[in-house]
Amino acid sequence: MRLASERVLEERRVAGLQFASVRAGGKAWAVLLLMIACLVLAACGGKSDVRRIKLAHGLPTSHPVHEAMVYLAERAALHSSGALRVEVHPSEQLGTEREVIELLQIGSVGMTKVSASVMESFVPEYGVFSLPYLFRDDKHRAAVLDGEIGGEILRAGRRFGLNGLVYYDAGSRSFYTRERPIRTPADLGGLKIRTQESPSAIRMVRALGGSATPIAWGELYTALQQGIVDGAENNPPSFYLSRHYEVCKYYSLDEHTSVPDVVLVSTHLWEGLRPEEREALTRAARESALLQRKLWAVATAEAMQFIEASGVEILRPSKRLFAESVEGIYAALAETPALARLSERIRAVQ
């Protein structure tokens, strides 16, 4: 779903992408010369004074997250005066989420956007985001991600070669199924549900009575179509843009988790950047996150409207029943004290 061009232009105007008009004739010439110089610099991508950065992700170009990453590339070029050229590679062109993370660790790819669920296998702290019903509401989630705890988790990956820059909004995840509507946790019994490659996501589906089946995102449509799995769980824009609604006709809004996306940069790249380049890239990432949240809200509303119009039955079950079914997951956190303390800190945030 590509947003209307007018809306994207307006968002970019608000974010400050468009340049102010030049009033004096002399200033106009100066700006023209500067623009020509930037174009010449951009054309010299092979020269040492222009750093090319590959940013890989698994989503289609129609996704609002991709729109935000294109904006990140534009802002990075602007803030670095053309010294940073971020090249966005969508749709798993360079590999699955897990594969691209591994490429970051060895320095073959510079940046990526992945789900925090997948990051759990690389940086344990990210596993806290996959705990069901961790956040009370959107305000609580924003306070955590934008606050001290969110920053700590972004920095935690540095020891594994993965420096977190910013979080993107990925909404709340809910179940969608092919043949059986999910009204209570008992309805998941015996169903094969696709999950991300996240131990926490697998534990959650099992706690609810389903059979967790990790499958790469790019392979999921075929897996649903062929009945390899009976359903999956994701947010509304991803359910819509993946066209999974063509196969799955029930969408149960239990909103069990609110796992953010994470924009990462390889420490191989990060440590090689000059201080001003680090500042430019960080600033660009933060600006893109602000835009992404606005685009996400619009995309979510449009996705829900479309999938309902296409014949998908939207169910709104009691979240309390689902929350009670996964209480054992929190009790089991005693086996991982660090994660238990982190979850307690998050729940205490006001």
Kindly report, residue by residue over 311-330, the tens digit of the pLDDT.
Answer: 999 999 999 999 999 999 99
pLDDT of residue 343: 96
Identify the DSSP state of 134.
Answer: -
Query: d(Cα 314, Cα 307) in Å, to the nearest integer?
Result: 9
CATH number of the domain that residue 99 is part of: 3.40.190.170
Report pLDDT digits (tens) over 34-71: 444 444 444 444 445 899 999 999 999 989 899 999 99
Helix (H, G, I), strand (E, B) or coil at 115: strand
pLDDT of residue 18: 36
86 & 185 share domain = no
The residue ranking higher by pLDDT, 20 or 342, is 342
162 & 220 share domain = no
228 & 277 share domain = no
- Whether residue 21 is predicted with pLDDT greater than 90 in this model: the reply is no
| Number of alpha carbons in the 13 Å side-chain half-sphere of residue 11 | 22
288 & 336 share domain = no
Average pLDDT of the residues of the chain: 89
Left (φ > 0), alpha (ψ -120 to 50) or beta: where does 59 sit? beta
- H-helix or E-strand spanning residue 282: helix 275-309
The residue with tokens 């004096």 is 24
14 & 91 share domain = yes
Domain that holds residue 337: 173-258+303-348
41 & 133 share domain = yes
199 & 318 share domain = yes
86 & 219 share domain = no
The residue with tokens 């991600």 is 145
pLDDT of residue 48: 59
252 & 266 share domain = no
Domain count for the chain, please give it. 2
What does the pLDDT average to over 133-150? 96
Query: d(Cα 76, Cα 277) in Å, to the nearest integer?
Result: 9
What does the pLDDT average to over 185-193? 96
pLDDT of residue 41: 44
197 & 225 share domain = yes
pLDDT of residue 19: 30
Report pLDDT digits (tens) over 200-255: 899 999 999 999 999 998 899 999 999 999 999 999 999 999 999 999 999 999 99
What does the pLDDT average to over 148-164? 98
80 & 229 share domain = no
pLDDT of residue 198: 85
Of 132, 134, 94, 126, the closest CA to residue 111 belongs to 94
State percent of the chain over pLDDT 70. Answer: 86
162 & 198 share domain = no
pLDDT of residue 136: 94
pLDDT of residue 20: 35
Identify the DSSP state of 259.
Answer: P
Mean pLDDT is lowest, of 38-52, 103-117, 185-199, 231-245, for: 38-52
